[in-house]
């Protein structure tokens, strides 16, 4: 037996199934002073996937990349974080590898991902 | 740790049914088995590395008194033994079982204990400061770089065979020998190690484990001694 099996923890968030290349909106609860609000972060999944029939390990994360005001921003999100509220897929992307680090070197039109249908 | 606490709340309802006995207040620690490590989140979303330790059930095998033994202590056994020699079997008779691991804990109030009593994870409570003693993982015969953190030699500039060399081990003709205790290559690990300053991040008296914040000496399934600290 390992601790993960014994604790049987699951992500508390509502997570859509997603794959690398998908565009997702990550909603996270952030605390401002004594007020809580939901902050959305929209971008491409560059590492990580989620399937309903596979519970991710407690320490596992996924990476979302977006270009904000001309500056690339990547966010590493733990699946099990209690501050993660939901992950919504807004667009399915067609990519040929599992880690899209090549996007870091590309800008503008070159950094586009084809839509999967 | 929102889900964590909820899970535990539900389990404690179950706990009332199986009736986990109250743990004596004066018990300073227990023996346990390292299960492995995982990640647990607190409410602010901070990830903590925790070690799961299965604590007990430990059974009191002897109560040592001031008059008879010269000091006060409780002797506990952990993990049932399949084979035991005759003298030990006699010793364990009243405890109702033989055990592989037997250790003593000094205790302030002996009134709480009787031979055969079972001690479980609820000896510990959330937030307790603890130290954990175990046998560290054996590293075999290790060189100076791994064993003592030596820097090794230069990687470049025409070096050969000097990359992980220990360097000089002493002066020349005087003293003409190597000082005792000079740090050199040798057997590393597989010795008794105590990690202090740990804390209890979670307790489940039914499944009988605690979560320790941080890491604990030894391999998975190895026996460790957990003691509360001041």
Q: Tens of pLDDT along B57-98?
A: 889 999 999 999 999 999 999 998 888 888 888 888 888 888
Mean pLDDT of B15-26: 66
Q: Is B175 left (phi over 0), alpha (psi -120 to 50) or beta?
A: alpha
> Is A80 in Cβ contact with B38 (below 8 Å)?
no
Of B4, B7, B47, the CB nearest to A78: B47
Residue appearing with tokens 């586009």: A112
pLDDT at A88: 95
Predicted confidence at residue A72, as pLDDT, reads: 93
Q: Taking CB atoms and an 8 Å cutoff, what residues of chain A touch B38?
A: 2-4, 7, 58-59
Question: Cβ of B38 and A3 within 8 Å?
Answer: yes
Percentage of chain A beyond pLDDT 90 is 65
Q: Which residues of A touch B41 (CB under 8 A)?
A: 78, 80-82
Do B43 and A59 lie within an 8 Å CB cutoff? no
DSSP 8-state code for residue B119 = E
pLDDT at B4: 47
* Chain B residues whose beta carbon lies within 8 Å of the beta carbon of residue A82: 1-3, 41-43, 45
Which residue on chain A is closest to B11 by alpha carbon?
A7
Nearest to A4 among B2, B38, B207 (CB): B38
Q: What is the mean pLDDT of chain B?
A: 87
Beta pairing, strands B186-188 & B29-41: unpaired
Tell me the pLDDT band of B18, cut-offs 50, 70 and 90: low
Instruction: Show residues of chain B in contact with A78, CB under 8 Å.
Output: 39, 41, 45, 47
* Residue whose entry in the numeric block shows the structure tokens 């470049």: B156
ipTM: 0.80
pLDDT band at B48 (very low <50, low <70, confident <90, very high): very high
pLDDT tens digits along B95-152: 888 899 999 999 888 888 888 888 888 889 899 999 999 999 999 999 999 999 999 9
Tell me the CA distances in angstroms from A14 to A18, A24, A29, A79, one per residue in order: 12, 13, 13, 10
pLDDT for A103: 94
**B-side interface with A, Cβ within 8 Å?**
1-4, 7, 35-45, 47, 50, 52, 207, 209
B3 vs A78: CB contact, 8 Å cut-off? no
> What is the structure's pLDDT at B105?
92
Residue B35 to residue A6, Cβ atoms within 8 A: yes
| pLDDT-derived band at A51, boundaries 50, 70, 90 | very high
User: What is the pLDDT at residue B19?
Assistant: 63
User: CA end-to-end span of chain A, whole Å?
Assistant: 41
H or E element, residue B227: strand B223-228
Residue B206 has pLDDT above 90, yes or no: no
| pLDDT for position B182 | 95
* A38 contact residues in B (CB cutoff 8 A): none
Which range is least confidently modeled, A42-46, B13-17, B36-40, B140-144? B13-17
Taking the Cβ of residue A33 and every Cβ of chain B, the question of whether any pair is shorter than 8 Å is answered with: no
- Can you give the three-state secondary structure of chain A, one letter per residue? CCHHHHHCCCCCCEECCECCCCEEEEEEEEEECCEEEEEEEEEEEEECCEECCECCCCCCEEEEEEEECCEEEEEEEECCCCCEEEEEEEECEECCCCCCHHHHHCCHHHHCCEECC
Minimum-distance CB partner of A81 among B7, B45, B52:
B45
- Is the pLDDT at B15 greater than 70? The verdict is no
pLDDT over 90 (residue B5)? no
CB–CB contact B36 A12 (8 Å): no
> Is the CB of A82 less than 8 angstroms away from the CB of B39?
no
Q: Which residue in the set B2, B35, B52 is minimally distant from A12, CB to CB?
A: B2
Residue A61 confidence class, pLDDT cut points 50, 70, 90: very high
* pTM summary value: 0.80
Query: Contact B21/B120 with Cβ under 8 angstroms?
Result: yes
For chain B, percent of residues with pLDDT exceeding 90: 59
Mean pLDDT lowest among A73-87, A101-115, B171-185:
A101-115
Provide, as residue numbers in chain B, all residues whose Cβ is less than 8 Å from the Cβ of A12.
Answer: 2-3
pLDDT band at B14 (very low <50, low <70, confident <90, very high): very low
Distance of CA B226 to the CA centre of its chain: 5
pLDDT at B110: 84
Predicted pLDDT at A9: 82
């Amino acid at each position: 037996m390992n601790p993960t099996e014994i604790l049987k923890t699951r992500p508390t968030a509502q997570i859509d199934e997603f794959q690398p290349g998908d565009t997702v909106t990550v909603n996270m609860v952030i605390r401002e002073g004594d007020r809580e609000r939901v902050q959305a972060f929209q971008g491409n999944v560059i590492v990580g996937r989620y399937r309903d029939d596979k519970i991710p390990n407690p320490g596992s994360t996924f990476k979302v990349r977006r270009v904000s005001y001309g500056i690339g921003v990547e966010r590493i999100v733990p699946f099990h974080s209690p501050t993660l509220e939901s992950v919504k897929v807004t667009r399915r992307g067609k990519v040929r590898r599992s880690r899209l680090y090549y996007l870091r070197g590309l800008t503008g039109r070159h950094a586009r991902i084809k839509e999967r249908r | 740790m929102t889900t964590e606490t909820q899970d535990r709340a539900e389990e404690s309802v179950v706990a009332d049914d199986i009736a986990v006995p109250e743990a004596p207040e004066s018990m300073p620690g227990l023996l346990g088995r390292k299960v492995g490590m995982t990640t647990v989140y607190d409410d602010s979303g901070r990830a903590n590395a925790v070690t799961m330790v299965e604590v007990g059930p430990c059974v009191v095998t002897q109560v040592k008194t001031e008059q008879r033994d010269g000091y006060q202590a409780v002797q506990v056994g952990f993990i049932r033994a399949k084979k035991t020699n005759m003298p030990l079997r006699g010793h364990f008779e009243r405890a109702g079982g033989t055990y592989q691991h037997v250790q003593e804990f000094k205790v302030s109030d002996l009134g709480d204990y009787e031979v055969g009593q079972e001690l479980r994870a609820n000896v510990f409570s959330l937030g307790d400061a603890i130290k954990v003693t175990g046998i560290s993982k054996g590293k075999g015969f290790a060189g100076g770089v791994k064993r003592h953190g030596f820097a090794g030699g230069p990687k470049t500039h025409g070096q050969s065979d000097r990359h992980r060399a220990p360097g000089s081990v002493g002066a020349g003709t005087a003293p003409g020998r190597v000082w005792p205790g000079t740090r050199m290559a040798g057997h590393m690990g597989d010795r008794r190690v105590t990690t202090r300053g740990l804390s209890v991040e979670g307790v489940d008296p039914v499944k009988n484990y605690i979560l320790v914040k941080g890491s604990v000496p030894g391999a998975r399934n190895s026996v460790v001694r957990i003691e509360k600290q001041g």
